[in-house]
Structure 1
């Protein structure tokens, strides 16, 4: 791969030698993996890509146009060909005509939601992968290749009060601003209109959401995605507030050893308080960016606003719990403030649910926070297992970078509470949760296995892991984990 020095804020990874000889679907997979490999481009499980490919109909033998698009639930970084849905493009456009002919259509309408159930009727080649809700965004853009990503730098513009002005300032007429609208079929129809009205445009900044852009060639689309992100990132860097970021420091971080000691003392107690009805697994994060935010003057205000990008708050909930604790106050005072904060958060979440619920909304879910921010200490993220809590931490780290950028060039704005609620408790999201397999017998439990380096201990560790447990393996000598005893 030739070194590319054009980019400072994203990694250029395209390798012509590796791409050579790949057919169009596999080239799409390759492009997707490259985009997903850089967390500054898109988050775990977020974003989607597509290619419109000429193929032979397996029944008639006639040439047809097929949309290959990342399917529901896939991750760009690890996706294989089997994670992409394939649809007859003409049938997708027939579905569009059906939608437009219904007078009850519109954003968040029952007609729009019903379109998701119609997408499988457009399936090409008996492909079992379910299409994602973003399929119309790709199918109705006339270009052959489309990337939809969630880059922190672009979301910072999308979540700014002056987002439309900033989009023009950064991109001119190459990129169009589109105000927030919930993802779905209607947004795809609207995007098609934007392409028709702005033929010079190469992409769209989706207000409060992310970036979508297109090209006629896969490599060109990849390079355009990187270029648009790079331009936004450079603009933000030029306006960065340095030591004044987030209003400057209010508290000082504890020393690393002190943070670890406090965490070891605090975590079992806090996990018990959060887990009164459901067990949770934690991920702790105290990197420089996290500490700068939790220790800042503006952290209480920004944390209360919540996140913007839908991908973020489906994991982080509407907002985190920020604990206004002075690190000089000691552990007992922190426990007291956490206890007060948890009670207030639960009451606030219940009020949020009651205020915004619809007649057909699903029942209220767990009212506990999934992100806890503590000055001097860092961030504790929660999930049903280690993987989920790690991703939750990743998503709120992304939200911090979004807020940093937005506050540098404008004022950060989160989604209106009703819009956020309508996504969090969307019937389609609820259906996705209900389709998930039941949790295993030892799910959400942390089990320590002593002697896990070999023999019976190792097999026990593997067994409880298969049953869903989060396993801590302990051995008497670290050497045995690297060099298990050999049979004699």
Structure 2
């Protein structure tokens, strides 16, 4: 990868050479470090989303021979807080040999069970469904991420065309399909058909990038995200607005917080009818730009554009039909207005 730069506008460069020096040449520790700093920026991947990996040469305890082992985030983990106990170590060759017994899309569930027969490290976390996506690619370090900018590209109606506009022949593209062994085969085929690419966009899903070292992989991921972000910003400037432009004027900050303090206990009560819930309030600029827009009522029912986001935000937001000048002092009257939306 050429033209490596540390100057990024849209993502945070968090690589700390002093920290890395303290890790030495332990590739697993370097992979965990890369994972943690990628996961520290939620623009790069949502909490619990994405997975990362590295491949090392280890000694087989049964044969005393050198074998390649793939270390990958285990099922249910979060790369931002990933530790050694949260990863799985598998024999790479055994994982690839599963191609010999794979019977097609109807066989996906059985294949997940067979991952356990590929385990090298007996302290491994359960391998996730994305394991073959890493194992069938040859690279030493791999990132599978869901950056906001890449989701915008991946979920676009003309995603493949946009991918080509941004990266030319340096990025591959595969259409959406359910994660599993066959998707790993599709990534392998994409790379074989396009040797020399720096990554692959997964339609309506996310991003795969890689490198020979943990640092090269990290930089490749950031650069690809940066290019997508720059493309989107230029498109926004050209059309002059996002979400159809502004429809509603926000209340002053203090008034917003005051009304939120009145509403949140009511909303929490309605949301906690079956399970106790804790509310979180956000009025960041990007949130306000969306909810004040002309396109809010059209876009909200469409739901999230990436399946991984369902884990945290559920399928679609609930838009409450309250006027910003609504009198919130009568909680019973407000509850009467809100209840139908929760039924």
State TM-score, norm by structure 1: 0.65
What does residue 180 of structure 1 align with?
176
SS for the counterpart of 1:327 is coil
Quote the offset at 1:295 in angstroms: 1.3
Quote the offset at 1:335 in angstroms: 4.3
What does residue 53 of structure 2 align with?
50
* 1:427-466 equivalent positions in 2, closer than 5 A: none
SS for the counterpart of 2:124 is coil
Cα distance, 1:5–1:120 mapped onto 2, change above 3 Å: closer
Distance 2:74 2:53 in 1: 10
Cα distance, 1:216–1:251 mapped onto 2, change above 3 Å: same
Cα distance, 1:127–1:277 mapped onto 2, change above 3 Å: closer
What does residue 304 of structure 2 align with?
307
* 1:26-45 equivalent positions in 2, closer than 5 A: 26-45=29-48
What does residue 70 of structure 2 align with?
67
Quote the offset at 1:275 in angstroms: 2.5
Q: 1:278 aligns with which of 255, 271, 275?
A: 275
Task: Return the structure number with greater relative CO, CA threshold 8 A, min gap 6.
Answer: 2
Distance 1:314 1:79 in 2: 18
CA contact (8 A) 2:51 2:79 kept: yes
What does residue 23 of structure 1 align with?
26
Quote the offset at 1:16 in angstroms: 3.6
What does residue 264 of structure 2 align with?
267
RMSD: 2.0
Distance 2:57 2:254 in 1: 60
Distance 1:243 1:330 in 2: 35
Q: 1:255 aligns with which of 252, 256, 272?
A: 252
Cα distance, 1:54–1:301 mapped onto 2, change above 3 Å: same
Quote the offset at 1:340 in angstroms: 2.8
Cα distance, 1:334–1:301 mapped onto 2, change above 3 Å: farther
What does residue 480 of structure 1 align with?
none
* 1:301-450 equivalent positions in 2, closer than 5 A: 301-331=298-328, 335-343=335-343
Q: Which runs of 5+ in 1 are unaligned?
A: 344-488
SS for the counterpart of 2:281 is strand
Q: Which has the larger radius of gyration?
A: 1
Distance 1:225 1:35 in 2: 9
CA contact (8 A) 1:300 1:324 kept: no
CA contact (8 A) 2:151 2:204 kept: yes
SS for the counterpart of 2:195 is coil
* Deviation sequence 1:445-477 (CA, Å, 0-9, x none): xxxxxxxxxxxxxxxxxxxxxxxxxxxxxxxxx
* Residue 146 (1) aligns with residue 151 (2): no
Distance 1:121 1:239 in 2: 48
* Deviation sequence 1:97-149 (CA, Å, 0-9, x none): 211xx2xx21xx3x101111111111103123111111111000122221111
Q: Once structures 1 and 2 are overlaid, which stretch shifts more, 219-228 or 255-264?
A: 255-264
* Residue 226 (1) aligns with residue 222 (2): yes
Distance 1:187 1:281 in 2: 37
* Residue 91 (1) aligns with residue 97 (2): no
Distance 2:33 2:265 in 1: 43
Distance 1:82 1:66 in 2: 16
Quote the offset at 1:45 in angstroms: 1.5
CA contact (8 A) 2:87 2:124 kept: no
What does residue 8 of structure 1 align with?
9
Cα distance, 1:278–1:18 mapped onto 2, change above 3 Å: closer
Cα distance, 1:5–1:91 mapped onto 2, change above 3 Å: closer
CA contact (8 A) 2:173 2:190 kept: no
Q: Once structures 1 and 2 are overlaid, which stretch shifts more, 303-312 or 250-259?
A: 250-259
Cα distance, 1:262–1:15 mapped onto 2, change above 3 Å: closer
Number of residue equivalences: 334
Q: Which runs of 5+ in 2 are unaligned?
A: none
Distance 2:280 2:111 in 1: 38
Quote the offset at 1:286 in angstroms: 1.3
Distance 1:312 1:146 in 2: 21
CA contact (8 A) 1:251 1:327 kept: no
CA contact (8 A) 1:29 1:80 kept: yes
Quote the offset at 1:5 in angstroms: 4.5
Quote the offset at 1:208 in angstroms: 1.0
